[in-house]
Amino acid sequence: MAQRGHLRKMAVALADPVQYTLRLVGQEGETGVLLNPFIGRSIHLRHTGNINCVACGRKVKKSFQQGYCFPCMRSLPECDGCIVKPETCHFEAGTCRDEQWAQGHCFQPHYVYLANSSGIKVGITRGTQVPTRWIDQGATQALPIFKVQTRLQSGLVEVALKQHISDRTDWRKMLKGAADCIDMAARRDELLACCAEEVSALQQRFEGAIEPLTDEAVVDIHFPVTAYPTKVKSFNFDKDPDVKGVLHGIKGQYLILDGGVINLRKFGGYEVEWRSD
């Protein structure tokens, strides 16, 4: 039996392996399909041609930033450039798009972390997004290294750290297999030694707000994948409405099929029909 609705980012739950739920939003609300039982089976996602903004519901021909219409992309605080580059936060300048939204999202505890996805990287996330953020990035290991009080502070700490370490994931490499295991605590200590002066300056600027975390345990993450592709080919609903094949696994926000991969988060707001054998 087919299920139909507009895509949202897959829901995840940390387990061994990670549990994934396909989310479809329709006129009667949201439905979910637990995907793990379908690994090893044929699945079919067909894009109906309809795209609706994930924020306002407006029907559009093209979406931006993983599901928004152009007006929402230009006006909503969650689409502002400072979300991608939190060190450019402009709240104090009085130009925040929505101060109430900022209080609930940006002025909340954040973590600066190391993650091992396609190799080690630094990243930031709100406390409420642990461990979801790490799963969405396809990380097999993660380690929080700082707790801070605002998003701006997390961005400034990240800027200091990424002078010595990448802040990006090579998604193609991430999808070709599990990353080699890394001594995360040792890499943390090496990194903090390199950045000691910059971090100390930030701690003095934001007295008591930037807390180093030296006793956190490494979080190991196992994904439900039975076979990785040797060559990564991407499906794209804009070019071909039919995505189908045997589901070999799920990692990050990607479905891994025998004929290619698809990033479901990229197609937020796209209406699809889901079927399986």
Q: Above pLDDT 70, what percent of the chain?
A: 100
121-174 pLDDT, tens digit per residue, is 999 999 999 999 999 999 999 999 999 999 999 999 999 999 999 999 999 999
Task: Please tell me the distance from the alpha carbon of residue 56 to that of residue 223, in angstroms, as a whole number.
Answer: 33
Q: Is the pLDDT of residue 16 over 80?
A: yes
Give the mean model confidence (pLDDT) for residues 256-262.
97
Q: Is the pLDDT of residue 99 over 90?
A: yes
- The predicted structure's pLDDT at residue 277: 81
Mean pLDDT value across the chain: 96
Q: Is the pLDDT of residue 197 over 90?
A: yes
Task: Please tell me the distance from the alpha carbon of residue 166 to that of residue 152, in angstroms, as a whole number.
Answer: 19
Give the mean model confidence (pLDDT) for residues 97-113.
97
Residue spans of beta strands (DSSP E) within the chain: 3-13, 19-26, 29-34, 42-51, 110-116, 120-126, 141-148, 210-212, 219-220, 242-251, 254-257, 260-263, 270-276
54-97 pLDDT, tens digit per residue, is 999 999 999 999 999 999 999 999 999 999 999 999 999 999 99
Give which of 208, 203, 265, 212 is closest to 234, Cα–Cα.
265
In this prediction, residue 245 has a pLDDT band, given cuts at 50, 70 and 90, of very high
Whole-model pTM? Answer: 0.95
Residue spans of beta strands (DSSP E) within 52-158: 110-116, 120-126, 141-148
Q: Is the pLDDT of residue 1 over 70?
A: no
Neighbours of 32 (CB within 10 A): 15
- Edge to edge, the sheet with strand 260-263 lists 29-34, 19-26, 3-13, 270-276, 42-51, 242-251, 254-257, 260-263
Residue ranges covered by each domain of the chain: 3-67+224-276, 108-220
Task: Please tell me the distance from the alpha carbon of residue 265 to that of residue 254, in angstroms, as a whole number.
Answer: 8
- The predicted structure's pLDDT at residue 2: 85
**Which residues partner with 120 through β-bridges?**
116
